[in-house]
């Protein structure tokens, strides 16, 4: 994992360095004189060759110094920590709502495979799965906020406010961000439930006269949920990508909105820091998925 | 006053380019191209007039004709019991502020805030019709307009307590004019040879060439007075001006809280105690949030969302004056437009009235006769040169050798409101005159980067310029960088210079009228309408008015 992380830092730095953007130009504006630009570049260390800048950035990052962002007008590290906390909290809210819901729906569809309940759940989840976030964001806002008036249309809150005090403002973005994941997990669960229900041991359990409830919950579900748990962890990485659109749409002060601001303003230090952080989280989520799978599946043992 | 590319003034929330860049950078991310319609480009910064300002002055210090009647900007209705002091205005914007508050360095959104903190010598009203005194109370031209003296307002204090004096003005302009400082305001003000303090409360500008519009160039974004005892870093990071508000809190750039300046020179105003700036990048969410009551005002409302506000009794949609334009143009130095008959034919093809109605139905617009000078400018003339005449167009084209038909691509910005629609309408009429027009839609950012100054038949959007001179100079003189039509005419150039230096009001008006008539008859621009930008407020917000440069002057705004 550390090797991957190292390669990721090189990739991020390489891509950002190859971009035609120039922080000094951004800070001084398009009418800046070449002399003023040269002075600022020197001050920012931009006149150094790429490998030296890379080592400098890497060592700084390891020490927790993510650099200075002209957009934020200050150090990145402090702001980034609040933002990532906000994003993770919103993701957590989304998972808390979506995962149990998805599993229930998936089990229902799986148990009643081919019946009306299954048809409705399958078709709806397929539709939800195919909707990009910016469409589902508009649709959910229209239904839950504009028509029903249950939820506020945006996630307005101060970046350093505690997001758990504004739970009502988190539900819409959290739902939007995890809607596709919900659908995906539901479909996964349905598939494995059907699969497990046809296994000989389940058939045996049913044949020996156990009530259907006991068969499903005691025998089938345990095995059926195994792949689902892996999917849940893997979805976390996917969630980070979707956040760019969701946070921008709902004006939520999370890390992805910071990433977008960095891109729009050619704020390269900010861009590097946010991208790296998202990469780290994605890697961690995948790592956790592997660990969880290993722990739950007796056939895999970590040596 | 502004010279940024029109493109840079149209903020796109998630532009194509941004997404492409993102796609390459997000690890494990799933990105779907979200194309958000860009908000109309409201501009930056310049305070508005207000009913209580001391007498305002017509530009040019002349008895210029009153601004066009249909230009009256709408203002939020005010109850009879008059303004009330206090309250916090939650001001929503789709344009996220960034870290720059130094007025001399800014070009965009931050200038709106810099404008609440720092003040210029002179403001221009929202119709660009009249100058309004701000830190200067009076001014006069000497030596035929090559020397200008400004009397400064007395008893004005900066936020840190020191009195505002002439040396602050000198410092401000020397800073902008310093080539090493790199202010984007320098090119427009480069006509200033020297700024000097005559006494504590009088400043003198010595110009390189006489300019009767000189006070207008002080209404631009950058020349806001900064105190001479602040370092450049402090101007940006710990701003202290003379303005009606000062920064109380700057939180991570997406939220800024401004507090009332208790020592503001206008004892009565501003009425608001606090202003909270809230950035919501997605316009639909911004308008939804206004409807939900979480914000009180929205700085600009994109046209497709206007109906949402009009249908809501809690909200008011406030239109600015009709001074924005998007239109079709021909490039005169390439085939087939090198032939004067073809140009005339193409100008005879559209029904401008119908085209304007198609683009701006329900929005108070001004039908144009290919005149780039905005209708609220005192020098604007009304003409009636171009009427649709498809028969004549067909005859002219046949005469020019295109009797068997002509096929041409019309390049259009496909993400700008109404542009594709009016281009298709043009194509429809063109077919009746025997011309096949293929409308080619391109997203704005790519269009302005690759097509705008290259194509022979295209579209363009211009944000308003404060003076007739600037409007004509920036796009129609021979050496203008942004001369999209390649209108090159030595007589026109000379007459424009002559008009700018002409001190006599009547002769000057006659010159500008002649310039407009010449351009309407000969130019490659096909301008069918000027239209406004709209902002929106909740019903408890009063005195709010859209301003094309400043977004809004918050001094007359109050809450009930």
Question: pLDDT digits over A18-46, tens only?
Answer: 766 666 666 665 555 666 667 767 766 66
The rounded radius of gyration (Å) of the Cα atoms in chain A is 24
For residue A56, the tally of other CB atoms under 10 A from its CB is 13
Residue A110 CA to residue A220 CA, distance in Å, equals 11
Q: Do the chains contact at A241 and B30, CB–CB below 8 Å?
A: yes
> CB contact, 8 Å: B238 with chain A?
no
List the beta bridge partners of residue A74.
A69
B23 CB neighbours in chain A (<8 A) are none
- Average pLDDT of chain A? 79
Q: How many CA atoms lie within 13 A of B508 on its CB side?
A: 22
Question: Among all residues of chain A, which has the CA nearest to that of B276?
Answer: A158
Q: What is the pLDDT of residue B47?
A: 34
- Partner-chain residue, chosen from B27, B30, B34, that has the shortest CB–CB distance to A278: B27
Comparing CA positions, the residue from B152, B151, B221, B146 lying closest to residue B191 is: B146
Tell me which of A251, A277, A283 to substitute to probe the interface with B (most B C-beta atoms closer than 10 Å): A251
Q: Residue A34 has what pLDDT?
A: 66
State the average pLDDT over residues A3-17: 80
| CB neighbour class for B32 (10 Å; exposed up to 12, middle 13-18, buried from 19) | middle
- Do B288 and A145 count as a contact with CB atoms less than 8 A apart? yes
Quote the radius of gyration of chain B (alpha carbons, Å). 24
- DSSP H or E stretch at residue A69: strand A68-69
Look at B254 and A251 and tell me if their CB atoms are within 8 Å.
yes
Distance from CA of A5 to the nearest CA of B (A): 11
What Å distances lie between residue B98 and A69, B26, B79, B259, B542, CA to CA?
10, 22, 36, 19, 28
If you search the block for the tokens 């506000």, which residue do you land on? Answer: B309
Minimum distance, in Å, between the CA of residue A79 and any CA atom of chain B: 7
* The pairing of beta strand B325-330 with beta strand B457-462: antiparallel
Give the pLDDT of residue B16: 39
Q: What is the pLDDT of residue A44?
A: 67
**Between chains, do A241 and B29 touch, taking CB under 8 Å as contact?**
yes
Cβ distance of A153 and B21 shorter than 8 Å: no
Reported confidence tier of residue A5, pLDDT bands at 50, 70, 90: confident
What is the band of A159 on the pLDDT scale with cuts at 50, 70, 90? low
- The residue behind tokens 């950012």 is B445
CB contact (8 A) between residue B295 and residue A156: yes
Nearest to B282 among A72, A249, A253 (CB): A249
End-to-end CA distance of chain A: 17
In angstroms, what separates the C-alpha of B281 from chain A's closest C-alpha?
6
CB-CB neighbors (< 8 A) of A153 in chain B: 285, 288-289, 291-292
Distance, CA of B286 to CA of B403 (rounded, Å): 52
Question: Which residues of chain B does A73 touch, with a Cβ-Cβ cutoff of 8 Å?
Answer: 99, 237, 250, 253
Cα separation, B534 vs B216, whole angstroms? 24
B538: which DSSP letter? E
Q: Which value does ipTM take for this structure? A: 0.70
Closest Cα of chain B to A288: distance in Å? 16
DSSP SS3 for B157: strand
Identify the helix (H) or strand (E) that includes residue B285: helix B283-292
Of A33, A152, A238, the CB nearest to B28: A238
Per-residue model confidence (pLDDT) at position B543: 92
**DSSP-assigned letters across all residues of A101-158:** HHHHHHHHHHHTTTSHHHHHHHHHHHHHHHS-HHHHHHHHIIIIIIIS--S-SS----
Q: Is residue B79 exposed (0-12), middle (13-18) or buried (19+ Cβ within 10 Å)? A: exposed
Question: Is B158 within 8 Å of B242 (Cβ atoms)?
Answer: yes
What pLDDT score does A128 carry? Answer: 83
Across the interface, whether the CB atoms of A73 and B182 are under 8 A apart is answered no
Interface of B with A in 281-300 (CB under 8 A): 281-282, 284-286, 288-289, 291-292, 294-295
Chain A residue nearest residue B187, CA to CA: A31
Query: If DSSP states are collapsed to H, E and C, what string results for B426-493?
Result: HHHHHHHCCEEEEEEEECHHHHHHHHCCCCCEEEEEECCCCCHHHHHHHHHCCCCCCCCCCCCCHHHH
- For the entire predicted model, the pTM comes to 0.75
Q: Which residue bears the tokens 């017509």?
A: B58
Tell me which residues of chain B have a pLDDT lower than 70: 1-80, 98-100, 106-111, 251-254
Beta bridge partners of B249: B257
Name which of A260, A269, A277, A280 to mutate to probe chain B: the one with the most chain B Cβ atoms within 10 A of its Cβ. Answer: A260
- Which chain B residue lies closest to A82 (C-alpha atoms)? B252
**Partners of residue B282 in chain A, C-beta under 8 Å:** 248-251
pLDDT at B163: 93
- For residues B275 and B280, what is the distance between their CA atoms, to the nearest angstrom? 16
A283: pLDDT strictly greater than 50: yes
Q: Distance (Å, rounded) from C-alpha B338 to C-alpha A201?
A: 86
Starting at the edge strand that comes first in sequence, how are the strands of the sheet with B325-330 ordered?
B435-442, B406-413, B457-462, B325-330, B525-526
Q: What is the pLDDT of residue B254?
A: 67
Contacts of B292 in chain A (CB under 8 A): 145, 152-154
User: Would you call A31 and B183 a contact, using CB atoms and an 8 Å cutoff?
Assistant: yes
Q: Looking at CA atoms only, how far is residue A174 from chain B in angstroms?
A: 15
Contacts B18 to A, Cβ<8 Å: 260, 263-264
d(CA B412, CA B396): 25
Distance between CA B68 and CA B364 in Å, rounded? 13
Residue B396: φ, ψ to 5°: -60, -40
Contact B250 A73 (CB under 8 A): yes
Residues of B in contact with A263 (CB under 8 A): 18, 21-22, 25
pLDDT at B221: 80
pLDDT at B111: 65
Three-class SS state of B7: helix
The answer to whether the Cβ–Cβ distance between A70 and B288 falls below 8 Å is no
Helices (H) and strands (E) in chain B, counts: 16, 23
d(CA A214, CA B76): 67
State the pLDDT at residue A23.
66
Interface of B with A in 30-49 (CB under 8 A): 30-32, 34, 36
CB pairs under 8 A between A and B: 161
User: Is A133 within 8 Å of B32 when comparing Cβ atoms?
Assistant: yes
Give dist(CA B48, CA B134) in Å, integer.
10
Contact (CB<8Å) A251/B295: no
What does the block give as tokens for A269?
Answer: 């230090």
DSSP string for B227-274: -TTS-HHHHHHS---SSSEEEEEEETTTEEEEEE-TT-SSSS----SE
Question: Which among A69, A244, A282 has CB closest to B27?
Answer: A282
CB contact under 8 A, B29 and A36: no
B289 and B283 Cβ atoms separated by less than 8 Å: no
**Which chain A residue lies closest to B308 (C-alpha atoms)?**
A146
Yes or no, beta carbons of A251 and B255 under 8 Å apart: no
Of residues B27, B107, B180, nearest to A8 (C-beta): B27
Q: How many residues does chain B have?
A: 560
A290 min Cα distance to partner chain B (Å):
16
CB A146 within 8 A of CB B284: no
SS3 B317: strand
Neighbours of B61 (CB within 10 A): 15
Q: In chain A, what residues touch B253 (CB-CB under 8 Å)?
A: 71-73, 261
**Backbone dihedral region for residue B50 (phi beyond 0: left; psi -120 to 50: alpha; all else: beta):** beta
The string over B168-197, giving b where at least 16 C-beta atoms fall within 10 Å of a residue's C-beta and e elsewhere, is bbbbbbebbbeeebbbbbbebbeebeebeb
Say what the pLDDT of residue B61 is. 40
pLDDT at position A259: 85
- What is the signed CA dihedral for B460, B464, B470, B475, rounded to 10 degrees? 0
- Spell out which residues of chain A touch residue B176, defining contact as CB-CB under 8 Å: none
**Do residues B302 and B40 make contact, with C-beta atoms less than 8 angstroms apart?**
yes
Question: Could you write out the DSSP letters of every residue in B132-154?
Answer: EESSEEEEEEEGGGTEEEEEEPS
Min distance A63 CA to chain B CA atoms (Å): 23
Q: What is the pLDDT of residue B107?
A: 61
Chain B residue numbers touching A79 (CB-CB < 8 A): 252
């Amino acid at each position: 994992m550390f090797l991957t992380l190292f390669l990721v830092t090189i990739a991020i730095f390489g891509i950002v360095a190859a971009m035609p953007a120039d922080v000094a130009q951004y800070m001084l504006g398009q009418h800046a004189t070449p002399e003023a630009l040269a002075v600022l570049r020197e001050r920012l260390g931009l006149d150094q060759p790429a490998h030296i800048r890379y080592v400098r950035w890497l060592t700084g990052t390891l020490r927790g110094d993510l650099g200075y962002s002209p957009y934020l007008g200050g150090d990145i590290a402090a702001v980034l920590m609040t933002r990532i906390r906000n994003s993770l909290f919103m993701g957590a809210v989304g998972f808390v709502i979506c995962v149990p819901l998805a599993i229930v729906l998936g089990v229902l569809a799986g148990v009643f495979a081919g019946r009306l309940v299954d048809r409705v759940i399958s078709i709806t989840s397929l539709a939800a799965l195919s909707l990009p976030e910016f469409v589902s964001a508009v649709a959910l806002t229209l239904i839950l906020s504009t028509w029903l008036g249950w939820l506020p249309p945006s996630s307005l809150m101060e970046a350093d406010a505690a997001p758990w005090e504004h739970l009502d403002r988190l539900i819409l973005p959290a739902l939007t961000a995890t809607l596709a994941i919900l659908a995906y997990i539901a479909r996964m669960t349905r598939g494995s439930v059907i699969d497990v229900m046809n296994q000989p041991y389940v058939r045996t359990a049913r044949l020996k006269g156990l009530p259907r409830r006991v068969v499903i919950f005691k025998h089938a579900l345990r095995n059926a949920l195994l792949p689902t748990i892996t999917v849940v962890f893997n979805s976390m990485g996917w969630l980070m990508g979707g956040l760019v659109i969701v946070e921008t749409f709902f004006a939520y002060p999370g890390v992805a909105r910071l990433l977008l601001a960095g891109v729009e303003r050619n704020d390269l230090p900010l861009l590097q820091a946010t991208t790296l952080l998202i990469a780290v989280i994605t890697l961690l989520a995948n790592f956790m998925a592997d660990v969880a799978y290993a722990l739950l599946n007796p056939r895999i043992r970590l040596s | 006053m502004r010279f940024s590319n029109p493109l840079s003034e149209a903020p796109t929330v998630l532009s194509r380019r941004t997404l492409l860049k993102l796609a390459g950078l997000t690890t494990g991310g799933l990105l779907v191209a979200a194309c958000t319609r860009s908000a109309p480009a409201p501009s930056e910064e310049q305070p508005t007039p207000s009913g209580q300002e001391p007498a305002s002055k017509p530009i040019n210090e002349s008895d210029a004709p009153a601004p066009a009647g249909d230009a009256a900007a709408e203002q939020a209705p005010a109850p009879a019991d008059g303004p009330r002091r206090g309250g916090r205005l939650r001001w929503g914007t789709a344009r996220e502020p960034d870290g720059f508050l130094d007025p001399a360095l800014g070009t965009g959104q931050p200038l709106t805030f810099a404008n609440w903190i720092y003040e210029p010598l002179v403001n221009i009203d929202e119709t660009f019709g009249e100058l309004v005194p701000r830190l200067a109370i009076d001014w006069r031209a000497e030596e035929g307009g090559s020397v200008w003296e400004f009397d400064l307002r007395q008893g004005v204090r900066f936020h840190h307590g020191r009195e505002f004096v002439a040396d602050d003005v000198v410092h401000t302009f020397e800073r902008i004019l310093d080539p090493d400082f790199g202010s984007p305001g320098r090119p427009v003000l480069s006509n200033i040879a020297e700024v000097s303090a005559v006494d504590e409360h009088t400043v003198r500008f010595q110009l390189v060439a006489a300019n009767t519009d000189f006070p207008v160039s002080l209404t631009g974004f950058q020349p806001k007075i900064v105190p001479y005892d602040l370092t450049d870093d402090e101007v940006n990071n710990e701003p202290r001006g003379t303005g009606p508000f000062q920064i109380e809190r700057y939180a991570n750039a997406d939220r800024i809280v401004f507090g009332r300046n208790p020592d503001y020179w206008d004892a009565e105003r501003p009425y608001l105690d606090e202003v909270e700036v809230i950035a919501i990048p997605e316009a639909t969410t911004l308008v939804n949030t206004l409807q939900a009551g979480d914000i009180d005002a929205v700085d600009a409302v994109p046209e497709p969302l206007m109906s949402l506000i009009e249908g809501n009794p809690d909200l008011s949609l406030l239109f600015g004056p009709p001074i924005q334009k998007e239109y079709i143009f021909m490039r005169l130095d390439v085939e087939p437009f090198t032939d004067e008959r073809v140009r005339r034919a193409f100008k005879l093809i559209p029904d401008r009235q119908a085209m304007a109605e198609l683009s701006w139905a329900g929005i108070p617009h001004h039908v144009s006769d290919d005149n780039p000078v905005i209708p609220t400018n005192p020098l604007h003339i009304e003409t009636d040169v171009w009427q649709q005449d498809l028969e004549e167009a067909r005859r002219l084209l046949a005469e020019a050798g295109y009797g068997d038909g002509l096929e041409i691509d019309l390049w259009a910005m496909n993400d700008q409101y109404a542009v594709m629609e009016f281009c298709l309408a043009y194509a429809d009429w063109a077919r009746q005159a025997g011309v096949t027009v293929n409308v080619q839609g391109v997203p704005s950012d790519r269009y302005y980067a690759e097509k705008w100054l290259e194509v022979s038949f295209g579209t363009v959007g211009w944000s308003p310029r404060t003076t007739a001179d600037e409007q004509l100079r920036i796009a129609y003189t021979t050496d203008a960088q942004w001369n999209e039509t390649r209108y090159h005419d030595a007589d026109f150039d000379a007459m424009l210079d002559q008009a700018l230096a002409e001190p006599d009001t009547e002769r000057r008006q006659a010159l500008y009228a002649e310039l407009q008539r010449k351009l309407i008859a000969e130019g490659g621009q096909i301008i069918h309408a000027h239209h406004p930008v709209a902002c929106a407020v909740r019903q408890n917000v009063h005195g709010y008015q859209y301003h094309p440069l400043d977004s809004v002057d918050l001094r007359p705004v109050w809450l009930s």
